[in-house]
Structure 1
Amino acid sequence: MAAAQIKLEVVTPTRAVLSVEVDEVVLPGSLGQMGILPGHLPLLTGLDVGAMILRDNGTERRFFIDKGFAEILDDKISVLTQGCEGVSDIDIEHARAEFKEAEQEIGRLEKLTNVEEVEDTEELLKRYRESLERARTRLLVAGEGDASDA
């Protein structure tokens, strides 16, 4: 028989962030969002940058997740991630500045035409695109609407 709730533990390289029991957890899986309820089949999955949503007794809490892995058992979810921030922990002004800087740098790098410069920019473009996605996700998790307004 499935448990009424599922235990969630979230750990980053620097600290244990959460240890709670909830009705449902929505994770940003590397192939899309996945909802996890008590009694879920065992699963080990990669996580992408995205929103983690906890639902409990009709309430919803949102967190920013910065990639990682999740081990899902029938009564427990263990999340190992590079970063996890609750809505109140997100520095909105910093996220807006990060978004704007990444957007500007991507635009600048995409306009390069010199072959040597273009070859050297692929890794930079990848890092700025990841930075843009992290900033966009932080703003969306914090309820700041469309991140392009930043």
Structure 2
Amino acid sequence: MASTIQLDVVTAEQKLFSGTVEKVIAPGSMGDLGIYPKHTQLISKLRAGELKYTTAEGTTSLFVSGGVLEVQPTLITVLADTGMRAEDLDAQAAQDAMKRAHDALQGKDPADLDYEAIQAELEAAKAQMEMLHRIGKVRG
């Protein structure tokens, strides 16, 4: 039997997953993190992207828009800003979000713009589109 570790993935609105896993691949702020049972303790910021975890039943993907990852000896906790299951991703919604962010950056008074919020929305939308391409929900 493979070694496992508890994984909890939560947002402010919902619990996306709670269970034992064999490994986790998380979108760390400095690059993807591969986490297996008995991993050293760490805390990392997350960037928008795909969070993958493997259970005895197979590998599952979630989209997270950012947040924090904490690894303890017997528990991995992901506190995601927002998140959704891969099957719930919507290509049209991601494209609309990208368009809104691009439009917001063009033709407006710079004093009225919250560049940080717009950039975060743009990065999340791009990460969603990349994930949709990777999992085969969008071609091209």
- Fold match by TM threshold 0.5: yes
Correspondence for 1:60: 59
- Structure label with greater radius of gyration: 1
| CA distance in 1: counterparts of 2:77 and 2:115, whole angstroms | 32
Q: What is the aligned-residue RMSD (CA, Å)?
A: 2.5
State the distance in 2 between where 1:143 and 1:58 align: 23
- Counterpart in 1 of 2:16? 17
Structure 1 residue 9 displacement after superposition: 0.4
Q: How many residues align?
A: 136
Calculate the TM-score normalised by the size of structure 2: 0.82
**2:76 maps to what in 1?**
77
3-state SS of 2:133 partner = coil
How far is the alpha carbon of 1:57 from its aligned partner? 5.0
Distance 2:32 2:57 in 1: 20
Give the % identical residues: 26
Tell me what 2:119 maps to.
Answer: 129
Q: Is there any run of 5+ residues in structure 2 with no aligned partner, and where?
A: none
The CA deviation string for residues 92-147 of structure 1, in whole angstroms up to 9 with x for no partner, is 211111112212333x15xx7xxxx44x16x53332221111111112222377x9
Q: Distance in 1 between matches of 2:58 and 2:15?
A: 23
Q: Secondary structure at the match of 2:128?
A: helix
Map 1:1-150; keep pairs closer than 5 Å.
Answer: 4-57=3-56, 59-106=58-105, 108-109=106-107, 117-118=109-110, 120=111, 123-143=113-133
Counting helix residues as a fraction of each chain, which structure ranks higher? 1
Give the deviation of 1:75 after TM superposition.
2.7
The DSSP-based 3-state class of the residue aligned with 1:7 is strand
Residue identity in the other structure for 2:78: V
